[in-house]
Structure 1
Amino acid sequence: MKFDDYRKHDAVGLAGLVAKGEVSAGELLETAVARMAEVNPRLNAVTLDLADRARKETAAAAPTGPLAGVPYLLKDLGALLAGTPTTGGSALWKDNVPAADSAIVTAYKQAGLVIFGKTNTPEFGLMPVTEPDFLGVCRNPWDTDRTPGGSSGGAASAVAAGIVPAAHASDGGGSIRTPAAACGLFGMKPSRGRVSFAPLGEGWGGASIQHAVTRSVRDSAVLLDAVCRPQSGDPYYLDAPATPFAQEVGRAPGRLRIGFTTAALAAPALDPECAQAVLDAAKLCESLGHIVEEVTVSGDLAAMQAAAGDVIAASVAATLEAEGEKRGRAVTADDVELLTWAMARRGQQVTGASYVRGLAAIHAYGRAVAELFKTYDVLLLSTLGSPAIPIGWLTENFETYAPRLFDFMPNTQAFNNTGQPAMTVPLSWSTSGLPIGLQFVAGMANEAVLFRLAGQLEQARPWFDRVAEI
């Protein structure tokens, strides 16, 4: 299959071609592998090539399922593929080879996806850029001097470059929405408990969730339908919806009440182009018949952020402590990156009492934000504080890391900690040609309203054919 034909289709479209016998799973795989060979040396999006393994599996048994034969990539964090290393972007885990698949990988295989590689991620998913020492810098296909975002940066870079139409991703503070926004993609962060992390434990006090970055809305919905299966013992879970999410895409959303803000929740202000993009999106929603009003997001954001920082830091400290026990020696500063070590040191100071109080502050913030959704169906705000930032800008000076971090991603972490579903939609581009994502948030467990709205926006302002030329 020629690449130009391959890129015309989303994952659902490619699966349809396979089902009709117009192309084989093997042909799709070879097209994806050829595209990877062409662009990956410039992007470093895919860091583990599993093409030979995928060829053998596809030859041994034709894939079946709703996405049968579609090439797919796993993020090198959170999703376990038996017999292959899951490094988490760290040399510390380079020999971390699981014996069994995780629940989400099992579901992907049952859906018929052909997994042929793993994608780049910052060490332990801690940054909104993808520049790990171990795996190397990942670049944005729209401008290779800029970041694709993080921590699912490799996934977004690969999708934006046309290697695959969709790829696995995860989001603990914005790690689906940030790279999707930076790379001109659709990115849905599901509700807490929607997708199981089994057999691993909860991530960052329940803030983390797995799903995907995609070019089309329907791919995101079909993929979420495939994996939203509660597993025995999950600490948080939501039952699969009565109506599949795939059926929500294309359904009229009705007349929604949409509150919008041009605020940067965790920073002084948005880049002017991002602020204007919010206003433009608000006008678009109004033109589609929705009631659109400016709002203020309530809640003690500073207390939530401080608490979330403690939870993340304590989690990092626990990870390094467990690795040290496994190795028979303590992990040292020489084993990990500077930020990871600093987070672990902070985590060692977090007492049990402060951790519990921190969770209480996070839950209080969630209750405060939920009040907004008694009046409004959806909240609209900018996904990022600016378009994609230059490679190295965030990490060049450790003293400026924290303010620059929230200048870039001021609006995503809040909704990890409330647990609500949130999506980024590529509705705008900067004057320099970089994508600008708009974030839409719904009430807990209400992905359906977001998928209906996203389908409407996709029809009103199509983005599928607007691709990075690399």
Structure 2
Amino acid sequence: MDVAEYTEHDATGLAELIAAGKVSAAEVHDAARTAIESVNGELNALVGPLFDRPLRHDEGGRFAGVPFAIKDLVLHAEGVPQRAGSRMLGPGVPFPYDTALMARFRRAGLAAMGVTATPEFGFNATTESVANGPTRNPWDTTRSPGGSSGGSAALVAARALPVAHANDGGGSVRIPAGACGLVGLKPTRGRTTVAPDYQDPLLGLGVEFAVTRTVRDAAGLLDAVHGAEPGDRYLLPAPASTFAAAARPPSGTLRIAVSTAAPNGAPVDAACVEAVQAVARALADTGHTVEEAAPAYDVAAFDEANLVAWCSFLADAAYGIAAVLGTEPSAEVLEHTTLACAEHGKRLSALDLYAADRAFNATTRAVAGFFTGYDLLLTPTAAAPNTALGHLDADDASLDARGWYDRLFAFAPFTALANVTGAPAISVPGPTSPDGWPVGVMFLGRPAAEETLLGVAALLEEALPWADRRPPVVAH
């Protein structure tokens, strides 16, 4: 298999070729290695070199032999160093065990080839760090691929990988999916396990999954890895049949609310507004009920609670790792805003955490009430198609914790609502911008309603297809 043939197939297609004996897994891995190496010099999407050989995986799994990569945050594989995008961890700290989801990725047959870049501890909507430098968007290498799963998204968008691990605490699957022209599904809280390291990472905001190029890959992968582990806090209903079966245009009429106004009042780029409007027209043309509406909730309380969640998470990470390593959090090992947020988090009290929990509850109840009248909410994924590299500089010494939060969520004002409510959301490509960049549109659904999201995404994959789009930087 040469690279040109390899890049034409999504994960499902590659798995079918391998299962049918039309190509060997080893040939696919060789093509993937060449493909990754052909673009990584421009993209800087990897942390460290590729593995000498793919990690052990089940040769009988649904995606047996399909190349894959692990984001350098939260999920980890036995013996593979993790750096979390931070100088604090130096060359990386290897864990002596797989996380439960990593074990499921292995059982699905995914062949991990390497580790992808993330910003420091994931608290950025771009993938730039002092430790690893900037990761670049294959559609325009002066622009960001989004964050915090930008390393994974850049490689999948450049067709060097068909699928890669990603996680999402405020939009980190969906923002890079939008910026890179991919499918980014954030499952319902608890749909994918975070065992054994967490119960509710980021006070319940954090979810693990992947970025893909096709809807069928997102659905098939969710079929392969969803479900609880013993001790998990959540036990969700299984799909009526399979997620893969749900990934086709819905037969009934959906009630879809549309909003292009940022809840926090941030300006929204015209290209994002126009992409949402084009998608809304396509949905109306296929018989769905579409109208302008948005849930009402206390945005100021929401933002304050979200800041508390992130700063307490960063304090736990920075001070916890420092205690293990016998060091101190400082500007020598942490970026300025990471340290500012960690210090803010250290000053929080138990009363602050309970206040955040009350605000999250009030938001969740308000949004749930809104969804008694609608099946989906359609918005832009972000307030602009992407950002210039350097715009979201986490080492900006002029910013305190709140200043950094406000800068991030001016670019990404739509995504965090799904994290706070625990509901599923998906970003898919809309029409491209006048500059030729991908523009993501996002659907938020009811809890445990991934089937509805996958169905409407499949409809758009047919009505406004993106499969033939190629970025300027593409594997060769």
TM-score (norm 2): 0.95
Partner of 1:192: 189
Contact 2:125 2:392 in 1 (8 A): no
Partner of 2:464: 461
Contact 1:14 1:70 in 2 (8 A): yes
CA distance in 2, matches of 1:28, 1:373: 44
Partner of 2:212: 214
Q: 2:266 is aligned with what amino acid?
A: P
Partner of 2:339: 341
* C-alpha deviation, 1:116, in angstroms: 0.8
1:436 matched to 2:433: no
* C-alpha deviation, 1:240, in angstroms: 3.5
Contact 2:181 2:429 in 1 (8 A): yes
1:21 matched to 2:17: no
Contact 2:167 2:206 in 1 (8 A): yes
Partner of 1:260: 258
Q: Write the mapping of 1:46-445 to structure 2, written as runs, cut at 5 A.
A: 46-54=46-54, 57=56, 63-93=59-89, 94-201=91-198, 202-250=200-248, 252-395=250-393, 397=396, 398-399=398-399, 401-445=404-448
CA distance in 1, matches of 2:203, 2:239: 24
Alpha carbons of structure 1 residues 401 and 344: separation in structure 2 relative to 1, 3 Å = closer
Q: 2:77 is aligned with what amino acid?
A: L
CA distance in 2, matches of 1:223, 1:2: 25
Contact 1:380 1:441 in 2 (8 A): yes
Contact 1:83 1:100 in 2 (8 A): yes
CA distance in 1, matches of 2:181, 2:471: 9
CA distance in 2, matches of 1:269, 1:137: 25
- Secondary structure, counterpart of 1:425 in structure 2: strand
Q: 1:406 is aligned with what amino acid?
A: F
CA distance in 2, matches of 1:111, 1:404: 39
Contact 1:230 1:239 in 2 (8 A): no
1:256-275, Cα deviation, whole Å (9 max, x unpaired): 00010111122332111111
CA distance in 2, matches of 1:402, 1:105: 30
Mean Cα displacement is larger for which, 316-325 or 441-450? 316-325
Contact 2:312 2:345 in 1 (8 A): yes
CA distance in 1, matches of 2:121, 2:146: 15
* C-alpha deviation, 1:334, in angstroms: 2.1
* C-alpha deviation, 1:311, in angstroms: 1.4
CA distance in 2, matches of 1:231, 1:402: 33
Contact 1:253 1:452 in 2 (8 A): no
1:12-44, Cα deviation, whole Å (9 max, x unpaired): 000000011011111111111001111101101
CA distance in 2, matches of 1:455, 1:280: 16
Contact 1:221 1:249 in 2 (8 A): yes
* C-alpha deviation, 1:239, in angstroms: 4.4
- Secondary structure, counterpart of 1:187 in structure 2: strand
Q: 1:217 is aligned with what amino acid?
A: V
- Secondary structure, counterpart of 2:133 in structure 1: coil
- Secondary structure, counterpart of 1:69 in structure 2: coil
Contact 2:84 2:121 in 1 (8 A): yes
- Secondary structure, counterpart of 2:128 in structure 1: coil
CA distance in 2, matches of 1:249, 1:124: 33
1:111-133, Cα deviation, whole Å (9 max, x unpaired): 11111101000000010001111
CA distance in 2, matches of 1:469, 1:147: 14
Partner of 1:41: 41
Contact 1:196 1:237 in 2 (8 A): no
Contact 2:43 2:141 in 1 (8 A): yes
1:334-381, Cα deviation, whole Å (9 max, x unpaired): 221111100111101110011111111011101101111100001001
Structure 1 vs Structure 2 CA RMSD? 1.5
Alpha carbons of structure 1 residues 342 and 450: separation in structure 2 relative to 1, 3 Å = same
1:404-437, Cα deviation, whole Å (9 max, x unpaired): 3222111001111011101011022100001100
CA distance in 1, matches of 2:99, 2:405: 33
Mean Cα displacement is larger for which, 261-270 or 347-356? 261-270
Contact 1:111 1:226 in 2 (8 A): yes
CA distance in 1, matches of 2:155, 2:369: 38
CA distance in 1, matches of 2:151, 2:238: 29
TM-score (norm 1): 0.96
CA distance in 2, matches of 1:327, 1:177: 33
* C-alpha deviation, 1:242, in angstroms: 3.9
Larger relative CO (CA 8 A, sep 6+): 1 or 2?
A: 2
User: Percentage identity across aligned positions?
Assistant: 41
1:282-307, Cα deviation, whole Å (9 max, x unpaired): 11110011000110321112201111
Contact 1:79 1:86 in 2 (8 A): no
Contact 1:49 1:116 in 2 (8 A): no
Where in structure 2 are there 5+ consecutive unaligned residues? none
- Secondary structure, counterpart of 1:333 in structure 2: coil
Q: 1:331 is aligned with what amino acid?
A: P
1:311-336, Cα deviation, whole Å (9 max, x unpaired): 11111111222223212343333221
Contact 1:138 1:154 in 2 (8 A): yes
Partner of 1:31: 31
